[in-house]
Amino acid sequence: MRENHARRLDHRTLEAIRATVVRQVQKDQSPEAIAQVFGQNRSTVYGWLARYRRGGFGALKAKSLFGRPPKLDGRALK
């Protein structure tokens, strides 16, 4: 996944990967091994684990995208 950066994945997929990683670590898999399997950096996996410890699975939710919100709604854009 390092070649296809996680930014290209949709939010649901990212959240599913994060939750799966946490569950695997809870099943006594090493974070380093899980990071390698999912193609993530070790520090990324440890960051997800820290977020999980602070706020549960809700803390693993993807944040909204940055940027200015559009002034036009969906109907006006069509």
Reading the chain (78 residues) residue by residue, the pLDDT tens digits are: 445 566 678 889 999 999 999 999 999 999 999 999 999 999 999 999 999 999 999 999 988 777 887 777 777 666
Residue 57, domain member (yes or no): yes
Residue (of 30, 22, 13) closest to 52 by Cα position: 22
58 in a structural domain: yes
3-state secondary structure 29-60: CCHHHHHHHHCCCHHHHHHHHHHHHHHHHHHH
Close Cβ partners of 45 (under 8 Å, ≥ 6 residues apart) = 21, 25, 31, 32, 34, 35, 38
Domain contains 1: no
Does the residue 64 lie in any domain?
yes
* Residue-number span of the structural domain to which 69 is assigned: 6-77
